[in-house]
Amino acid sequence: MAEGKIIKALSGFYYVIHDEGITQCRGRGVFRKNGITPLVGDYVVFEAENENEGYIMDIKERKNELVRPPISNVDQAILVFSAVEPNFSPVLLDRFLVLIESNHITPVICITKMDLLDNESLEKINQYVSDYKQIGYDVIFTSSKTMDGIEKLRPYLRDRISVFAGQSGVGKSSLLNALLPELSLKTNEISNHLGRGKHTTRHVELIQFEGGLVADTPGFSSMDFIDIEADELAHCFPEMRERSHDCKFRGCLHLSEPKCAIKAGVERNEIPTYRYQHYVEFIDEIKERKPRY
């Protein structure tokens, strides 16, 4: 038996890359029986029936796993947000960051369509970027139209498994096309009537690039905090995570508790007010979540 990595899943087939090439595999019936679904990114053991076909026999332990998009063993997430069309949304970015942080994946913020900004909008974007850089996040400005910033993104993709994710219509496929012109990934214009993009990417696939693997994923506009508990949320905000041990009470949720280091940080402008407001919104959402049985 041989080992490899799933780089594409489509219509019940899993395409496994290994030293000898790529083998199209099916999953064993026992996976379905046990409720296990092989994911793009999985390291697997497979048995080849011939040069081109085989069966996945075992899935190795995953270091992380995303539900939407369904992918595993990701090193970093390139979170693609447009400056305009659709407008930059810090609350949606913070949702993405919470999900990525909770899965112990390194995020890189990429802001596209910078060529469409006027001076006033640019100043506003720069203030947000300053805050996120202060927190410790890497931020890259790009434009697929003018090609500005594209080369700055390239080194981030070397020797890593990267997932591109973001709201529909922000230009993920256009960005990948600018990096890899040979891909000619389908792009789609914003639906002016709906104010959002149409889904143009239909499946998850890992593409070989700069010695690493890159995934383009379906765009989506909202995310639920399915697996994050209220007492875990602050750990997904780096500026809160590093201060939470200074709170007076253990298990402080940083809401109405006295002598809370997080609230003190907000008052001293060490934590952006909007980030704290998003934290409170997310806490409320988690508390109102219906329990799973």
Q: What percent of the chain has pLDDT over 70?
A: 89
Q: What is the pLDDT of residue 182?
A: 64
Q: What percent of the chain has pLDDT over 90?
A: 56
Q: Please, are residues 253 and 127 in contact by the beta-carbon 8 Å criterion?
A: no
Would you state the structure tokens that stand for residue 251, as one six-digit string? Answer: 């298990």
Q: CA-to-CA distance for 29 and 40, rounded, in angstroms? A: 18
Output the pTM of the full model: 0.84
For residues 177 and 122, the model is more confident at 122
Q: CA-to-CA distance for 59 and 281, rounded, in angstroms? A: 37
Helix (H) or strand (E) holding 123: helix 119-135
User: For residue range 31-49, what is the model confidence (pLDDT) as tens digits?
Assistant: 877 888 899 999 999 999 8
Q: Is the pLDDT of residue 222 over 70?
A: no
User: For residue range 74-83, what is the model confidence (pLDDT) as tens digits?
Assistant: 999 999 999 9
Average pLDDT, the chain: 86
Least confident residue range of 98-112, 145-159, 172-186, 250-264: 172-186
Q: What is the pLDDT of residue 198?
A: 44
Q: What is the pLDDT of residue 217?
A: 59
User: For residue range 242-270, what is the model confidence (pLDDT) as tens digits?
Assistant: 999 999 998 899 999 999 999 999 999 99
Q: What is the pLDDT of residue 167?
A: 77
* Antiparallel, parallel or unpaired: β 43-48 and 2-10: antiparallel
**DSSP per position, 240-283:** HHTTGGGSSSTT--SSS-SS-HHHHHHHTTSS-HHHHHHHHHHH
